[in-house]
């Protein structure tokens, strides 16, 4: 085609009609490319809106909310995810930042920091402590004996969403979201990060799995009452076509999970559904981890990945906390349905597999149910 166009332009013996047949389609293709470029340049501000289906937050009755699928525009959302990661390509890719959310637990926070900073972790770049102790001055920033900087950030207001805020000071693509009462042991933490790098950059990778269930086994829609229920992954957990054997999970908690910083960008964007989901979290003072799981699976169409180390992760399980509040499970069940209505579909994806360090099954992970049914 290039040689033919040159002959048309150069005044060869080719007839004018033949030239028009070549030049007109070529000009049309070039125009499409230019238009695509301009739309990409001037459409960056609306990227998050497009990723969430235009930001309308279309709702429908809970009984009619379908499972998210290809017919709901997921290829476009996957494209938005690719654009987001490309925009963050300048960040450090082979290290991670640990973000710890703390609330009046100095003893637990001290243990987490002492444990994580006691060994030299080659991939740990920085620790950021989200200081939710309003009215108290945070400790001064410092650098560990192994050269890891630790800084404290005080949020502008009291919100569970703040742990998921994309800190402008982040310099790594990988963010380990953590609470002040749970941690991987240092050698296992390095293993989990490398698993995230190789297998999980487009999903949440963490230590604690959670499930949802419906009233009818194998039903991918809500139960007869039009609702999904939150649970701790019991043997009867199933919602996505499973047989109730308890093999599947669809979320990992953000109290100990790796994520790509681009997901934080989407979560804190001005897109309509993102704004409404954050408002639900603030109103309930709960469910930020559920909202984040919804958003990640909605954008990529993939479920989370449960990763276990050679040793059991440490959960100090303090006596006071949101999970101890009366009605906690019911509130989280309500969040499941509120978020599904905001997105117009149920995005969570069932996952049956997990990864574990080493070749020998770690007996620490056997539940009481497992031990009773051996």
- CATH classification of the domain holding 221: 3.90.550.10
pTM score of the predicted model:
0.78
The per-residue pLDDT for range 294-350, each reduced to its tens digit, is 999 999 999 999 999 999 999 987 666 666 567 678 889 899 999 999 999 999 999
Domain extent at residue 119: 60-361
User: What is the rounded CA–CA span in Å between residue 105 and residue 136?
Assistant: 12
Q: How buried is residue 43: exposed, middle or buried, by Cβ count under 10 Å (0-12/13-18/19+)?
A: exposed
Assess if residue 51 is contained within a domain: no
Contact predicate 269/285, CB 8 Å: no
Res 132: pLDDT? 96
DSSP H or E stretch at residue 93: strand 92-102
Per-residue pLDDT tens over the stretch 57-99: 433 344 457 778 744 444 455 666 677 778 888 999 999 999 9
Q: Is residue 272 part of a domain?
A: yes
Q: How many domains does the chain have?
A: 1
Nearest to residue 148, comparing CAs of 127, 165, 129?
127
Rounded to 5°, angle at Cα 323 from 62 and 67: 25
Distance, in Å, from the CA atom of 293 to the CA atom of 271, rounded to the nearest integer, reads 17
- Residue 349 within a domain: yes
Residue 241 has pLDDT above 60, yes or no: no
Distance CA 210, CA 306 (A): 10
Which candidate, 316, 317, 330, 252, places its Cα nearest to that of 286?
A: 330
* 104 φ, ψ (degrees, to nearest 5): 50, 45
327 occurs within a structural domain:
yes
Q: How far apart are CA 191 and CA 195, in angstroms?
A: 6
Q: Is residue 12 part of a domain?
A: no
Whether 187 is covered by a domain: the verdict is yes
């Amino acid at each position: 085609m290039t040689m033919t166009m040159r002959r048309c332009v150069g005044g060869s013996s080719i007839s004018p009609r033949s030239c028009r047949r070549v030049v007109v389609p070529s000009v049309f293709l070039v125009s499409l490319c230019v238009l695509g470029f301009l739309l990409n340049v001037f459409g960056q501000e609306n990227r998050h809106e497009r990723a969430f289906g235009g930001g309308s937050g279309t709702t429908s009755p809970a009984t009619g909310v379908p499972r998210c699928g290809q017919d709901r525009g997921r290829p476009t959302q996957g494209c938005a995810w690719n654009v987001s990661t490309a925009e963050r390509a300048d960040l450090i890719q082979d290290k991670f930042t640990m973000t710890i959310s703390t609330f009046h637990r100095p003893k637990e926070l001290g243990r987490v920091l002492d444990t994580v900073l006691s060994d030299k972790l080659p991939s740990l770049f920085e620790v950021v402590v989200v200081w939710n102790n309003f009215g108290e001055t945070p400790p001064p920033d410092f650098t560990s004996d192994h050269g890891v900087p630790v800084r404290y950030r005080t949020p502008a207001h009291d919100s569970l969403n703040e742990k998921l805020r994309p800190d402008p000071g982040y310099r790594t693509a990988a963010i380990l979201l953590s609470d002040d009462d749970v941690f991987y042991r240092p050698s296992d933490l390095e293993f989990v990060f490398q698993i995230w790098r190789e297998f999980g950059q487009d999903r949440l990778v963490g230590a604690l799995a959670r499930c949802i269930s419906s009233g009818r086994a194998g039903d991918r829609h809500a139960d007869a009452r039009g609702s999904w229920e939150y649970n701790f992954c019991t043997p009867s957990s199933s919602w996505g076509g499973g047989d109730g054997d308890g093999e599947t999970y669809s979320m990992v908690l953000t109290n100990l999970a790796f994520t790509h910083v681009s997901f934080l960008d989407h979560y804190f964007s001005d897109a309509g559904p993102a704004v409404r989901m954050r408002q639900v979290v603030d109103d309930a003072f709960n469910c930020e981890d559920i909202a984040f799981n919804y958003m990640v699976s909605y954008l990529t169409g993939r479920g989370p990945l449960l990763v276990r180390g050679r040793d059991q992760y440490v959960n100090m399980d303090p006596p006071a906390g949101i999970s101890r509040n009366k009605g906690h499970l019911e509130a989280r069940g309500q969040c499941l349905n509120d978020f599904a209505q905001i997105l117009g579909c149920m995005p969570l994806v069932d996952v049956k597999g997990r990864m574990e360090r080493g070749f020998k099954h770690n007996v620490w992970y056997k539940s009481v149910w497992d031990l009773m049914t051996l």
